[in-house]
Amino acid sequence: MKILEVIKEKVMGFPKGFLWGGAIAANQAEGAYLEDGKGLTTVDMIPHGEKRMYVKLGDMYPVKLIDGENYPSHEAIDFYHRYQEDIKLFAEMGFKTFRTSIAWARIFPHGDDEQPNEAGISFYLDLFKECQKYGIEPLVTLCHFDVPMGLVEKYGSWRSREMIECFIRYARVCFERFDGLVKYWLTFNEINILLHSPFSGAGIAFKPDENHEQVKYQAAHHELVASALATKIAHEINPLNRVGCMLAGGQFYPYSCDPKDVWLAMNKDRENLMFIDVQARGYYPSYAKKVFKEKDINIEIQTDDLEILKKYPVDFISFSYYQSRCASADPSRGMTDGNVVKSVKNPYLETSDWGWQIDPLGLRITLNYLYDRYQKPLFIVENGLGAKDTIEEDGSILDDYRIDYLRKHIKAMKDAIDDGVDLIGYTTWGCIDLVAASTGEMSKRYGFIYVDKDDQGNGTLERRKKKSFNWYKQVIASNGERLD
3-state secondary structure 346-404: CCCCCECCCCCECCHHHHHHHHHHHHHHHCCCEEEEECCCCECCCCCCCCCCCCHHHHH
Radius of gyration of the chain (CA): 21
Size of the site for ligand BG6 (CB under 6 A): 14
CA 429, 322, 231, 371 torsion-angle sign? positive
Residues between 222 and 281 with contacts to ligand BG6, criterion CB under 6 A: 248
Q: Candidates 36-44, 91-99, 259-267, 430-438 — which segment interacts with ligand BG6 by CB under 6 A?
A: 430-438
Which of these segments, 32-40, 156-164, 307-315, 436-444, binds ligand BG6 (CB under 6 A)? Answer: 436-444
Question: Can residue 382 be called a binding residue for ligand BG6 (CB under 6 A)?
Answer: yes
374: helix, strand or coil: helix
Dist. CA 312–CA 309, nearest whole Å: 6
Q: Does 189 bind ligand BG6 (CB under 6 A)?
A: yes
By CB under 6 A, name the one of 386, 425, 447, 480 that touches ligand BG6: 386
Q: Which is nearer to ligand BG6, 105 or 436 (CB)?
A: 436
Q: Which one of 101, 218, 320, 366 is in contact with ligand BG6 (CB under 6 A)? A: 320
DSSP-derived letter for residue 248 is E
Under DSSP, the state recorded for 428 is E
Q: Is 438 in the site for ligand BG6 (CB under 6 A)?
A: yes
Q: Which residue in the list 382, 392, 393, 481 is annotated as catalytic?
A: 382
Provide, rounded to whole angstroms, the least separation between the CB of residue 451 and ligand BG6.
Answer: 14
- Please spell the DSSP secondary structure of 190-226, one letter per residue: TGGGGGTSHHHHH---PPTT--HHHHHHHHHHHHHHH
Binding residue for ligand BG6 (CB under 6 A) from 117, 251, 323, 339? 339
What length does the chain have?
A: 484
Beta bridge partners of 148: 41
- As measured in angstroms, the least distance from the Cβ of 193 to ligand BG6 is 7
Kindly state the DSSP code that residue 158 receives in the 8-state scheme.
G
173 counts as binding ligand BG6 under rule CB under 6 A: no
Q: Does 429 bind ligand BG6 (CB under 6 A)?
A: yes
Interaction between residue 346 and ligand BG6 (CB under 6 A): no
Stretch that binds ligand BG6, among 204-212, 231-239, 407-415, 429-437 (CB under 6 A): 429-437
Report, in Å, the least distance between residue 376 CB and ligand BG6.
Answer: 20
- Give 318's DSSP letter: E
CA separation for the pair 131, 121 (Å, rounded): 16
Bridge partner residues of 219 (DSSP):
none
CA distance 480 to 475: 5
Q: Is 137 a catalytic residue?
A: no
Interstrand relation of 449-451 and 97-101 (parallel, antiparallel or unpaired): unpaired
Does position 437 interact with ligand BG6 (CB under 6 A)? The reply is: yes
Residues labelled catalytic: 382
Binding residues for ligand BG6, rule: CB under 6 A, are 25, 28, 189-190, 248, 320, 339, 382, 386, 429, 436-438, 444
